[in-house]
Structure 1
Amino acid sequence: MTDESDDAAAPRRLIFGRRRGRKLSPTRESTFGDWLPRLSITLPAPGVTLDPASLFAKPMKAYWVEVGFGDGGHLFALAAQHPEIGFLGVEPYEHGVAKLVMRVAEKVEAGGADNIRILTDDARLLLKALPDASVQRGFTLFPDPWPKKRHQWRRIVNTDTLADWARLIAPDDELRVATDVPDYQRWMLRHILAEPRFDWQAETSADWLQRPADWPPSKYEQKAIAAGRTPHYYRLRRI
Structure 2
Amino acid sequence: MTDPANPKPDGAPWRNFYGRRKGKTLRPSQEVYLAEDLAALSPGPVDWEANPDRTPLDLAQLFQGRPVWLEIGFGGGEHMVHQAETHRGVGIIGCEPYINGVAMLLGKIRKAELDNVAVHPGDARDIFDVLPVASVDKAFLLYPDPWPKKRHHRRRFVTPEHLEPLARVLKPGAEFRVATDIADYVRQTLEEVPRAGFEWLAEGPEDWRAPWDDWISTRYEQKAIREGRPQHYLTFRRL
CA apart distance, 1:2: 5.7
- The yes-or-no answer on 1:78 pairing with 2:79 is no
Amino acid in structure 2 at the alignment position of 1:88: I
Q: For 1:52 and 1:98, locate their aligned partners in 2 and report how far apart those are by CA, in whole Å.
A: 24
Counterpart contact for 2:98–2:122, Cα < 8 Å:
no
Q: Where do 5+ consecutive residues of structure 2 fail to align?
A: none
Structure 1 residues 138-177: aligned runs within 5 Å: 138-177=139-178
Write the deviation string for residues 73-125 of structure 1: whole angstroms up to 9, x where unpaired.
111000011112111000011111111100111222xxxx3111111111112
Q: For 1:174 and 1:183, locate their aligned partners in 2 and report how far apart those are by CA, in whole Å.
A: 22
Match of 1:119 in 2: 120
Q: For 2:170 and 2:88, locate their aligned partners in 1 and report how far apart those are by CA, in whole Å.
A: 20
Match of 1:194 in 2: 195
CA apart distance, 1:15: 2.8
- The yes-or-no answer on 1:221 pairing with 2:226 is no
- The yes-or-no answer on 1:38 pairing with 2:43 is no
Q: Where do 5+ consecutive residues of structure 1 fail to align?
A: none
- For residue 237 of structure 1, give the secondary structure of its aligned residue in structure 2: strand
TM-score, length-scaled by structure 2: 0.89
Write the deviation string for residues 108-150 of structure 1: whole angstroms up to 9, x where unpaired.
2xxxx31111111111121232111100000011100111122
Match of 2:57 in 1: 50
Structure 1 residues 100-115: aligned runs within 5 Å: 100-108=105-113, 113-115=114-116
User: Match for 2:21 among 5, 19, 22?
Assistant: 19
- Identical-residue share of aligned pairs (%): 41
Match of 1:231 in 2: 231
Match of 2:94 in 1: 89
- Over the residues paired in the alignment, what is the CA RMSD in angstroms? 2.0
- For residue 211 of structure 1, give the secondary structure of its aligned residue in structure 2: coil
In structure 2, the CA distance between the partners of 1:230 and 1:140, relative to structure 1 (3 Å rule), is same
In structure 2, the CA distance between the partners of 1:19 and 1:173, relative to structure 1 (3 Å rule), is same
Amino acid in structure 2 at the alignment position of 1:75: M
Match of 2:5 in 1: 3
Q: For 1:169 and 1:5, locate their aligned partners in 2 and report how far apart those are by CA, in whole Å.
A: 26
Amino acid in structure 2 at the alignment position of 1:48: T
CA apart distance, 1:14: 2.9
CA apart distance, 1:217: 2.2
Match of 1:61 in 2: 66
CA apart distance, 1:36: 1.0
Count of residue pairs brought into register by the alignment: 232
CA apart distance, 1:218: 1.8
CA apart distance, 1:158: 1.3
Write the deviation string for residues 12-42 of structure 1: whole angstroms up to 9, x where unpaired.
3333221111111112211221111111233
Counterpart contact for 1:185–1:232, Cα < 8 Å:
yes
Counterpart contact for 1:165–1:175, Cα < 8 Å:
no
